[in-house]
Structure 1
Amino acid sequence: MTSLRRRLLVFAAAVLLLAGLGTGLVLKAAARADRANQPQSGGPAVSSGKLTLDQKNRLTFVNGASGPHRTAVASVASANPGGGRTASDLKCARFYAAAGTGVCLQSDPGVLKQSNKALLLDADLRTEKTFPLAGTPSRARVSPSGRFAAWTVFVSGESYASAFFSTRTSILDTRTMKLIPSLETFSITLDGKSYKAADVNFWGVTFAADDDTFYATLNTANKTYLVRGSISGESVTTLTENVECPSLSPDGTRIAFKKRVLSRTDLWREYVLDLDTLRETPLAERHSVDDQATWLDDDTLAYALPTDGDVDSSDLWSVPADGSGSPRLLIAGASSPAPL
């Protein structure tokens, strides 16, 4: 056998092997999606219905229960979160809403290339504008007035526990449609001094009620900081270290956040920070929480934890914000809560 013929045979075999692997991966993904779309007996009651963002005393979320409404934006009565849920036709990877304005982050793996986009929504969940995303959806928030929306995506890496990851965080003025593509253009004051670095990353925006102040996580030089920012001033200032995915309380006095409890690990504990004293209070949840918690009211927080035995699903839990009590299951098969 000639050297050329041998190389051609090796090349052909490699092509067939890769084709087989690709087909296998596609079939495996299709099988997983098919299982996810099959309703499970004994699961929560999910039905199609009208869902608007100006409803009162409702809790919206991304439905994770198996069946045709998986990943749909759904809602339940706030007083009965374990009851039957109403599902819309809108499907999202991440979702948040406030004051009749919603933001939906979508991710479509596609055949050749993943497609990611952010949808700005009106109160009837109609898309007002679509924005392409530079990476995989991670976090989403809307200001209390509905004036601003923010989102974070992974540009590289797939989690905050990855050894190497890069994020991009954007803020949108929903009135003027002016988009700040990346917070990395904002000026930074770190420990009282002007700061610039090539490794700066931001994530997890949360808004104050004045439609200018926001809080977020700044990551640089292997440290994370809580920053307070000004949209109009295009600037941020560090407040304290080891704060990730902040969430501002409705009364504007406290920040819920995840704190890395062991250096260089993916173990986090949920804490609440008093903004006046910077005193930290550990919450009763003992599991590692990799989520941006949501305040259901001034006294209670909600967050997602992986469902036992299912890495592709999560449940919503709640816990008192003062460190007392114990966690309780809020909504099984759900994520991205937003109280209306």
Structure 2
Amino acid sequence: MGYRIAVVGATGNVGREMLNTLEERNFPADEIFALASSRSVGRTASYGDEDLIVADAATFDFSKVDIALFSAGSATAKTLAPKAAAAGCVVIDNSSYWRMEPGVPLVVPEVNGDALAGYAKKNIIANPNCSTIQMVMALKPLHNLQPIKRVVVSTYQAVSGAGRAAMDELFNQTKGIYVNDLPVKEQFTKQIAFNVIPHIDDFMDDGATREEWKMAVETRKILDPDIAVHATCVRVPVFVGHGEAVNIEFEHPVTVEEARKAMKAFPGVSVVDYRRDEGYVTPQEVQGEDNVFISRVRKDPTVENGLSLWCVGDNLRKGAALNAVQIAEKLVADYLPKK
């Protein structure tokens, strides 16, 4: 006998990837429910060879399922996650709404899987921001070597992180430029085709964007409250796959060789780092991959005990769907009653 699983937001980019990942990893599920807003009711969502009929998440009886994977945005998470949790279902939410809520674990299983021990306080578990997940996967083995004092990161984030309509906008603008059509801006504040936009999410009073704020506060909650993080988050004209240039300052010296060895040994991380043409990994190459890939590891001589590295990952997989499924896997392995 297996578990009963619901995927909320099953028709979106991440929701579809959640269904794919559950099937690919042979998650012990007896029954899968595909849920979405009323606009999508009656459509189908693929789960392996099955076509699931999409039901209305707002009226669904969550007492029928053990775990619900949410990828439907903060507004839905705010109203629907507590309802599902009160019905006895464990919610794993991909939105930003619950991440900094006291009593809600914010989890990357390889990094702080033991935080799941507190899941029953609210029956809600938060999936971190895609760019945070990717970065802490690289930072954790290094922090185990020597405590990290400060991180400065610049991200190069794919448009899929903003949803399917954002991917369509990049495609349509790119196609239109070749036939002299004026680019139409709906999802982004500026033209995204053949451009980069240093603006993800809303601006805050201090000049940072909320995406940059998320990377700082989430890293401290997941990894260590004493780590200072300064981020600049940039949207780039790539469909899938985030890149990050990460500069790290340690309390004590760490050599390039020690850093490479530690990251190579860490689950879910691959190091591809050769100082020659093509000796590094790019976002295009990690589409469909589960691991986070590290390249360009080098000493930073401008600060004491500094290293820099390049980090890439599939933002729809480890940055969202895969991490949520891994949380569910650890839940059923270590915390939920056996089926």
Q: Highest relative contact order (Cα 8 Å, sep 6+), 1 or 2?
A: 2
Bigger share in strand? 1
Determine which structure has more spread, i.e. the larger CA radius of gyration: 1
* Same fold by TM-score greater than 0.5: no
TM-score, normalised to structure 1, is 0.30
Bigger share in helix? 2
TM-score, normalised to structure 2, is 0.30
